[in-house]
Amino acid sequence: MPFSRAAFDRATLAFLVVLTLATAARIYALIINPLGLYFDEAQYWMWSRSFDWGYFTKPPMVAWIIAATTTLTGTDTEWAVRLGAPLAHALAAGGVFALTRSMYGAWPGFWAGLGWLALPGVFLSSSLVSTDAFLLPLWALALLAVWQLMSTRAWGWAIALGVFIGLGVLAKYAMFYFIACLALAAYWLAPVREALAKGRGVAAGVVAAIIVAPNLIWNVQHGFATARHTASNASFNLDNMFHIGELWEFLTGQAGVIGPLVYLALIWVLWRAARRSAGLQTEDRFLIAFILPPLVFVSLIAFISRANANWVAVAYPAIMVWVTGSLFTSKRGRRVLAAATALNAVLGFATVAYVASAPNSAPRIIKGARESSGWEATAREIARRAAVQPGEPPFTAVMADDRATYFELSYYWRHARREAAPLPPLRMWVLHGEPANSAEANDGMRPEEGGRVLIVHLRPDLTTFVADDFTTFRRVERLSVPIVEDCSNPTDFVAQLYTGLGGNLRPCTRDFDISVGEGFAPAPRDAAFEARLAGRDEP
C-alpha cells in the first residue's frame, strides 16, 4: 500500500489513539516509579551535563536526549531523566505501524504497532533510559525509508535513509548492522538494487557519513575509546571458547523479550520460510534480510563467548512486521496474533502495577531493580560521614572503588552540590594503568587531593589494593543500607526464595566498608601489580 494512502483511515486513527494512551500511561508510570536510577542511567545523566560528540562508552545521543528532557521539564528527577524512553518507543511503534501498513495493509499495521507497544522488552525499555530505546525508532524509520525508496525511487526517501542511519549510529553503534542487512537485501532483491541505483544509495551514504563524522573525529581524538569499549563487550577468550549453554540462554532469552507466543510464531515463520525458500515473496526476503545478519552474528558471539538478549534488538522491528504480516493472512493466525498481544500486555501491565502498588517488595523480583534501589539513602549516609567532624580535619576527597557507587553518589548528591553543601570532591579509584570507564577517565583520584580521603568500598576483593595506594590506611566501619523493607519476614515466600539464592546475595541491604586513607600515592600499575590482581580471591 502506498505510504500516502489512507493516512487517516480507521486503523490509523485507532492506532494513534492507542499510541497516545499507552505513551501517556508510560509517562505517568515513570512519575510514580519508586525505583531510583540504575548506575548506567546516572552515568548518562552525568554526561548530559556537558555537550560532546561522544562519551567514553557510548555515542552521544543518550546524553543529548537526557539534556533535552531535563531542560524542557525543568527538573532532573528520575522520571525526567527517563522521559525520552517512552517517547522513543512511541516513535518506534509508529515506524513499525507505517512499514507494516505499507507492506500488508492498514489493520496489520495496527496490530504490528500495538504488538510493538506490548512487547515485554518494550515495557521494560520504556521504564529506563538506554541506548537501545533511541536506536530502535531510528532503525524502524530507516527500514521504512528503504521500503518507500523501493516503491517510489524518490530522492527524499534516500536523504531520509541517510539521516536515519547517521542518527542511529549516534544512538548506538549496532546501527552498523543496518549496512550489512541492506547489502543482503540488495543481493537478494533487484528492487532494492534499483532503489539504491543512480546515486540514491551514494547520497544516503554521504548524508549518513556527514552526520557520523563529528563522532568519528571525537573517537580519533580520544583514542577510539568508545569503539574499543564496544568491541570489548564481546569478551573473547581464546582459552575458553564455544559455549552451548550461553547460546541456548541467548536464544531462549528472546522469548522473554518479545513474549512467548511471538517467539513461537517467529520460529514458525522461519521454519515455513526455510521450507519454501524459492517461493518467498518480496516482503519476506526484505524482512529476513534485516533479521538474519544480527541474529546470526550475535548468536555466534554467544556461542564463542557470551551475549545479552538485547544485543539483537535491532532485529525486533522486522520481526514484529514479519510475524504480524504472516499471521494476519488467516483467521487462526489472527487469533494467535491477538492472543500473543494480549498475553504480552497482561505481563507488562502486571509488572508495572506490582511495582507501583508494592514499591518495597518490587525490587525482589524485578531484574536490575535491586541495583537501582536505596541509593538516595546510601548517598545521605555517606554524605553524613563525609562531613567535617568535631576535632578532625576535613576530608580532601571521597573516593569510590566501584563505578556504580561513583555515578549514583554523583546523581544523588546533585541537590547538595547546587546548594553549596560542604561535600568533598567525589573521585574514582583507578584500578589499572589506563582508565577503564568514564569515571576513571574524567574523575580519577588525584594525588593533590589525597591528603585525607574517605574511601567507600563496594568491592571487598580490592580493599588490599586500595590500601596499598595510601601512606596510611585504616578501616572505620561496615555500612549496611536497607534497599527493601522487611525482607527477612519469615512469612514472605518471595523473600525466603530470594534470600536463599546464592547464599551471600544479601538482597535486603547494600553493604560497604568505610575507610580513611592519607597520603595518596598510587602503586605502579606494572606487570607485578596485574599478576597480583589476577590472583586475588573474588567474592
Q: Tell me: the pLDDT tens digits for 292-302?
A: 999 999 999 88
In this structure, are residues 427 and 396 in contact, taking their beta carbons and an 8 Å threshold? no
Rounded Cα gap, residues 108 and 70, in angstroms: 36
C-alpha cell at 126: 520504556
> Interior CA angle at 524 toward 519 and 526, to 5°?
165
Reduced to 3 states, what is the DSSP secondary structure of residue 366? Answer: coil
> Over pLDDT 90: what percentage of the chain?
71
Give the residue among 46, 94, 102 at the shortest CA–CA distance from 411. 46
User: Would you list the domain boundaries of the chain?
Assistant: 10-356, 369-534
Q: Give pLDDT tens digits for 117-129.
A: 999 999 989 999 9
Q: What number is the average pLDDT over the span 109-134?
A: 95
Would you state the cell numbers that stand for residue 411, as one nine-digit string?
546523581
Q: State the pLDDT confidence band at 495, using cuts at 50, 70 and 90.
A: very low
CA distance 107 to 181: 27
The answer for residues whose C-beta is within 8 angstroms of residue 183's C-beta and 6 or more apart is none
**Predicted pLDDT of residue 503:** 38
Sheet of strand 452-457, all strands in order from the earlier edge strand to the far edge: 426-428, 397-400, 452-457, 509-520, 470-482
Say if CB 353 and CB 383 are below 8 A apart.
Answer: no
What value does the mean pLDDT take over residues 278-295? 93
Give this prediction's pTM: 0.90
Measure the CA dihedral 234/314/342/22, to 10°: 110
Backbone dihedral region for residue 86 (phi beyond 0: left; psi -120 to 50: alpha; all else: beta):
alpha
d(CA 29, CA 355): 9
Mean pLDDT of 311-339: 95
What mean pLDDT is predicted for residues 215-232?
A: 78
Instruction: Give mean pLDDT, residues 147-175.
Output: 97
Sign of CA dihedral 174, 176, 179, 184: negative
Q: For the CA atoms of 52, 436, 466, 405, what is the dihedral angle to 10 degrees?
A: 60
Continuous H helices in 444-526: 463-467, 493-500
Residue 11 neighbours by CB under 8 Å, 6+ apart? 101, 106, 107, 109, 110
**How does residue 232 score in pLDDT terms, banded at 50, 70 and 90?**
low
For residue 277, pLDDT beyond 80:
no
Q: Is the pLDDT of residue 20 over 70?
A: yes
Given its phi and psi angles, is residue 93 left (phi above 0), alpha (psi -120 to 50 degrees) or beta?
A: alpha
Residues forming a β-bridge with 428: 400, 444
Length of the chain: 539
